[in-house]
Amino acid sequence: MGVEKTVAETVVELFPDKAGRPSINRNTVPSFKMGAAAWTRYARALYLAAFFGAAASLFAYHHSSIIALVNWEILATYDFGNAIAALVAVGGYLLEHYISRKASQLEKQMERVEAQMAFLVPVTLEFHALWQGSVTSFIDKCVGQYLTKGGRVEHLGDYEAMFEQSAVGKSAILESPTALAHPVSRAMTFEVMFAVVKSGTRPRVTSKTELPLLLHNAIRECDRESKLWKSYEAFVRHSLLPGVERIAEIINESGHLMEPVSAEKMQSIFGTTGTGYGEKWVIAPRMWFYSRWVAYARSWQELIAVWDDGDKDEIRPAADFPIGLLFFNVEAQGAVARVEQELIGASQMHGHRR
Label residue 167 by pLDDT band (50, 70, 90). low
Say whether pLDDT at 141 is over 60: yes
The mean pLDDT value for 8-31 works out to 44
Q: What's the pLDDT score for residue 21?
A: 47
Residue 291 has pLDDT above 60, yes or no: yes
Mean predicted confidence (pLDDT) in 296-308: 98
Helix (H), strand (E), coil (C) string for the chain: CHHHHHHHHHHHHHCCCCCCCCCCCHHHCCCHHHCHHHHHHHHHHHHHHHHHHHHHHHHHHHCHHHHCCCCHHHHHCCCHHHHHHHHHHHHHHHHHHHHHHHHHHHHHHHHHHHHHHHHHHHHHHHHHHHHHHHHHHHHHHHHHHHHCCHHHHHHHHHHHHHHHHCCCCCCCCCCCCCCCCCCHHHHHHHHHHEEEECCEEEECCCECCCCCHHHHHHHHHCCCCCHHHHHHHHHHHHHHHHHHHHHHHHHHHHHHHCCCCCHHHHHHHHCCCECCCCCECCCCCCCHHHHHHHHHHHHHHHHHHHHHCCCCCCCCCCCCECCCHHHHHHHHHHHHHHHHHHHHCCECCCECCC
Q: Bigger pLDDT: 178 or 31?
A: 178
Note the pLDDT of residue 75: 52
On the question of pLDDT at 175 being above 70, the answer is yes
What is the per-residue pLDDT across 41-77, written as a single tens digit (0 to 9) for each?
Answer: 555 555 555 555 555 555 555 554 545 555 555 555 5
Residue-wise pLDDT for 305-346, tens only, equals 999 999 999 999 999 999 999 999 999 999 999 988 888 887
pLDDT value of residue 264: 96
- Looking at residue 33, its pLDDT comes to 41
Global pTM value: 0.71
